[in-house]
Amino acid sequence: MKKSLQFKAGAILIVALFSIIITFSGYQYLFTPNFLIGDDVQDEYYLYIPREANFKTVTDSLQQNHVLHDILSFSFLAKILKYQDNVKPGRYKIRAKANNLEIVKKLKNGIQDPLNVTFNNIRTKQDLADKLSARLEPNAEQILALLSNQTYANSIGLDTNTIMSIFIPNTYEFFWTTTAEELFDRMHDEYKKFWNNERKEQARQLNLTPEQIIIVASIVEAETNMNQEKPRIAGVYLNRYYQNWLLQADPTVKFALKDFAIRRITFEHIKFDSPYNTYKYAGLPPGPINLPSITSIESVLKPEKHNYMFFVADPSRPGYHKFSENFQQHVNSAKKYRNELNKRKIY
C-alpha cells in the first residue's frame, strides 16, 4: 500500500515536471523574443517575400540577414500553425525582440506593411519604370510593357504618348506586391481625382484638354526651377500656341534627342526630325517630356496674362529669365546670354 502511494506520488511528480517543462517550452516557443536580439541590431527589419516563395525562402532570408535567433522554435510553431505550407508574398515589418507567435501570425495572415512611393524628376518611361520597380515588386520590363500597351492606354482614354500623364508626381501608399496593372489602375484613379471639376473647367477656359495642359506644364517644368516664374513662362508658350507660332522650346529638342546634358541648343540640334522637336513641328508635342510637378500644372491652369512672346536666360540672375514682347528686344537679350555662354566656354 505504501509503495503504491509512493509510486502514485512519483508519477504525479513526473507528470507535474513534464507539464512544467512543456509549459515553459511552449511559453519559450510562443512568447520569448526571437527576432533582432542583441545590443548591436537594428530596431526593425523589413522582410520581402516574393511570389512563388516557400518557407525555406523565408527562413533563409531571416537567417542570412541575422534577423532570426532560433530557427527551430520558429519552424516548429510555423508547422503547428500551418504557415509552412501557406506562405504569402509581401513586405512585412519585424520589430526588434518580436516573438514567434507575433511574426508567424502576421506572416500567415498576410498582414503587409505598406510603403510610400514618391516619384519626381522623371523624364522618360524608362526613368519611371526604374523608379517604380526599385520600390515595388513588378520589374521595369513589366511597367514598360504597360506604358507601351496601346490597348490599355486606349481603355483609359489616352495613347502611349500621353499615358505618362496619369502619374501625377506626389507620394502614394502602396503594398509592395501591387502588380503593374493594379499600379496603373490606382494611378488612373488618382489622375481622375486630380482632374476635378474645377481644374477641368480651368482647362476648358484655356481651350485645352487635361492632357494638353500636362504637355505644356512639362515644358514649363523643364524650363525653370523658379516657381514664381512658371506662370509667366506658361503664358509665353500659350501666347505662341494660340497665335500658331512654333513653340521653339529647347527642352523638347533635348527630349527628342534623348540627351539631357545638352547645355546649348545649336542649329544642328534643331534639324533633328522628331514630332517632339517644336522647332520643326507646329503645335504641341505628342506627349509630355517629363512628369511635371503639381506647381507647374497649376501654373499652366492659371497662366500670367501678358504680351510676352520670347524669353531667354538672364546671365545676371542665374535661374531667372528676361522676357520680351518683340523680336528685337529678344535678339538683344539673347546676344547678352550668348556672350555669357561664350565667356564660360559653353558651346
Q: 23 lies in a domain?
A: no
Q: 314 lies in a domain?
A: no
pLDDT at position 220 over 60: yes
Which of 194, 224, 240 is where one domain is finished? 194
The pLDDT of 121-143, averaged and rounded, is 97
The pLDDT of 158-167, averaged and rounded, is 97
Are 188 and 224 in the same domain? no
Q: 326 lies in a domain?
A: no
Could you list the residue range(s) of the whole structural domain that residue 187 is in? Answer: 115-194
Are 239 and 299 in the same domain? yes
Are 228 and 147 in the same domain? no
Q: 169 lies in a domain?
A: yes
Are 135 and 121 in the same domain? yes
pLDDT at position 213 over 90: yes
pLDDT by residue (tens digit) across 315-339?
888 889 999 999 898 888 778 877 7
Domain count for the chain, please give it: 3
Which of 63, 79, 113 is where one domain is finished? 113
Are 161 and 71 in the same domain? no
CATH code assigned at 37: 3.30.1490.480
Q: What is the 3-state secondary structure (H, E, C) of the chain?
A: CHHHHHHHHHHHHHHHHHHHHHHHHHHHHHHCECECCCCCCCCEEEEEECCCCCHHHHHHHHHHCCCECCHHHHHHHHHHCCCCCCCCCEEEEEECCCEHHHHHHHHHCCCCCCEEEECCCCCCHHHHHHHHHCCCCCCHHHHHHHHCCHHHHHHCCCCCCCHHHHCCCCEEEECCCCCHHHHHHHHHHHHHHHCCHHHHHHHHHCCCCHHHHHHHHHHHHHHCCCHHHHHHHHHHHHHHHHCCCCCCCHHHHHHHHCCCCCCCCCHHHHCCCCCCCCCCCCCCCCCCCCCCCHHHHHHHHCCCCCCCCEEEECCCCCCCEEEECCHHHHHHHHHHHHHHHHHCCCC
Share of the chain above pLDDT 90, in %: 79
